């Protein structure tokens, strides 16, 4: 037993008494673990307060230039080596000064670099499918808003202070382009004069970003943190909040030994990065270190997959209900839908023939009578458009529906053609789309038809995949014709819980 007062003294002065003790050493420059970031950012997505701050790096793989590439030509005209210059804003200012305060050439450079031939990349598209309603960017390109619009979002773009006073009807995303837009290069923030006058001329943007930094959880992606406007905003926020800043996250590339011939140079850059990571913590920005830029895509996909695992896509169609009969299968589907809602999952369905009404019945019973929740929060119904021309859109329509989900369930799967019952090729298509999008696949082979074929395919594909072993027995049970349909419902729910 230790005297309490002695214990107090040991705790208070342990850094002096035990200078090498683990708890006494403050770890500097330590990044946050990816798993911790993913968990915390998904929590922000669920709370509706996740935001993205995008720099030039986000658009790099779409072919957009970075600042060195943008200003490379004018640096040559100034007889300067762009690789030796760190203050790139100064390069633009020097050129502006040399041309008698005429920025026509600079405006043309922005137009030529960002206006044509660029399409959103995979990271744009993953972000666009997440429930992020606030984007901030220093980029001039239109790739963020294009990716959002491609994914059915109504995007309210703010490129100047006047835009901040208007609201686009029906918007579900706001994109703040704090340095302007390629369509108005004459107003873009580019030269030192623009940065020096920003706090006066763009004060509404500063106020808006300050408010979002206090109320939302940001992910900084492709951003170098060298922008003086952003540094100004963070410094003022930190002063006013006395260090009580909201937690944010950023991706930074680790220093690779392969990039340096000299060991001492490598150690120098590594040490410098460590100090930089520690300095970001002053603004409560935690760093996720990556070895390769492709890791960002993997992490974003993990976020989307885990977030979407709360939403289940039900694929099914039936003109025939062998061997259990129509009533038995409708009760089974209705019970399964109700149990999914009861367990807190959202359902997406295309209202398949002979299946859709049972999905709705089970979901509505649970939502209205037991959960007392909003219908739109738990059930997304997307009946397929009909008609010869409309069928051309079905593939795109399926991709859009399935993108909301992280788990896909397949049951039954037949239709009538010319008086004959055939397999549902639409279900096969939805299976392939679900697999391509990374959904967890649950074909219920017990219900026969196409779902049985898909069940057999899945087990064949996963026969040597050890990570699938945790689900293997349950998935195999879904094809057991001796199991009661009620028992199948419980097996499906157990699989989904394991996935989550």
Amino acid 13: pLDDT: 45
Q: pLDDT band for position 374 (50/70/90)? A: low
Question: What tens digit of pLDDT does each residue of 313-336 get?
Answer: 999 999 999 999 999 999 999 999
Amino acid 4: pLDDT: 45
Question: What tens digit of pLDDT does each residue of 46-66 get?
Answer: 999 999 999 999 999 998 888
Amino acid 371: pLDDT: 63
Amino acid 117: pLDDT: 75
Among 7-21, 161-175, 182-196, 297-311, which is the least confidently predicted range?
A: 7-21
- 3-state percent breakdown (helix, strand, coil) of the chain, nearest 5: 55, 15, 30
Check: CB of residue 479 under 8 Å from CB of residue 288: no
> Which residue among the candidates 8, 21, 124, 179 is catalytic per the annotation?
179
Amino acid 349: pLDDT: 84
Amino acid 23: pLDDT: 41
Between residues 30 and 159, the one the model is more confident about: 159
Amino acid 139: pLDDT: 94
Is 179 designated active site? yes
Distance CA 32, CA 110 (A): 36
Question: What tens digit of pLDDT does each residue of 245-284 get?
Answer: 899 999 999 999 888 888 999 999 999 999 999 999 989 9
Both tokens assigned to 281: 């913590």
Distance CA 453, CA 455 (A): 5
Half-sphere exposure at residue 138, Cβ-oriented, CA atoms within 13 angstroms:
21
Question: What tens digit of pLDDT does each residue of 444-486 get?
Answer: 999 999 999 999 999 999 998 998 999 999 999 999 999 999 9
Amino acid 438: pLDDT: 84
DSSP secondary structure, 203-252, as one string: HHHHHHHHHHHHHSEEEEES--S--HHHHHHHHHHHHHHTT-PPPEEEEE
Q: pLDDT band for position 237 (50/70/90)? A: confident
pLDDT at 12 over 60: no
């Amino acid at each position: 037993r230790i005297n309490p007062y002695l214990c107090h003294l040991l705790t208070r002065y342990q850094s002096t008494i035990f200078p090498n003790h683990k708890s006494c050493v403050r770890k500097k420059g330590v990044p946050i673990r990816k798993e911790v970031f993913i968990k915390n950012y998904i929590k922000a997505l669920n709370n509706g307060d996740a935001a993205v701050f995008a720099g030039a790096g986000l658009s790099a793989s779409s072919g957009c230039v970075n600042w060195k590439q943008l200003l490379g030509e004018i640096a040559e005209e100034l007889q300067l080596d762009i690789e030796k210059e760190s203050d790139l804003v100064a390069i633009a200012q020097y050129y502006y000064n040399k041309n008698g305060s005429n920025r026509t050439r600079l405006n043309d450079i922005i137009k030529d670099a960002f206006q044509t031939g660029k399409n959103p990349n995979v990271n744009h598209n993953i972000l666009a499918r997440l429930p992020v309603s606030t984007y901030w960017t220093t980029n001039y390109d239109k790739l963020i808003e294009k990716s959002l619009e491609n994914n059915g979002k109504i995007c309210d773009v703010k490129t100047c202070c006047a835009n901040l006073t208007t609201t686009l009807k029906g918007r579900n995303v706001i994109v703040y382009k704090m340095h302007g837009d390629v369509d108005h290069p004459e107003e873009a923030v580019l030269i030192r004069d623009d940065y020096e006058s920003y706090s006066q001329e763009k004060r509404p943007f500063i106020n808006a970003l300050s408010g979002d930094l206090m109320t939302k959880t940001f992910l900084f992606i492709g951003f170098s943190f060298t922008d003086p406007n952003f540094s100004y905003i963070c410094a003022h926020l930190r002063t006013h909040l006395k260090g009580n800043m909201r937690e944010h996250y950023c991706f930074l590339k680790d220093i690779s030994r392969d990039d340096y011939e000299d060991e001492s140079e490598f150690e120098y850059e590594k040490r410098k990065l460590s100090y930089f990571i520690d300095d970001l913590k002053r603004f409560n920005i935690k760093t996720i270190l990556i070895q390769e830029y492709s890791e960002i895509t993997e992490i974003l996909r993990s976020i989307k997959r885990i977030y979407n695992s709360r939403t289940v896509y039900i694929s099914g169609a039936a003109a025939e209900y062998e061997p259990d009969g129509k009533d038995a299968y409708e009760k089974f589907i209705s019970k399964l839908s109700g149990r999914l809602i009861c367990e807190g999952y959202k359902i997406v369905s295309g209202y398949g023939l002979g299946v859709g009404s049972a999905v709705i019945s089970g979901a509505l019973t649970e939502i209205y009578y037991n959960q007392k929740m909003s219908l739109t929060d738990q059930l997304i119904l997307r009946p397929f458009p009909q008609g010869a021309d409309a069928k051309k859109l079905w593939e795109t329509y399926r991709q859009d529906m399935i993108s909301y989900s992280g788990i896909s369930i397949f049951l039954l799967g037949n239709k009538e053609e010319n008086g004959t019952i055939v397999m549902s090729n639409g279900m096969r298509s939805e299976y392939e789309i679900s697999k391509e999008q990374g959904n967890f696949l649950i074909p219920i082979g017990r219900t026969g038809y196409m779902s049985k074929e898909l069940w057999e395919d899945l087990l064949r594909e996963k026969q040597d995949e050890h990570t699938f072993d945790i689900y293997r027995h349950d998935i195999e049970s879904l094809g057991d014709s001796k199991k009661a349909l009620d028992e199948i419902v419980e097996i499906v729910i157990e699989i989904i819980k394991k996935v989550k």
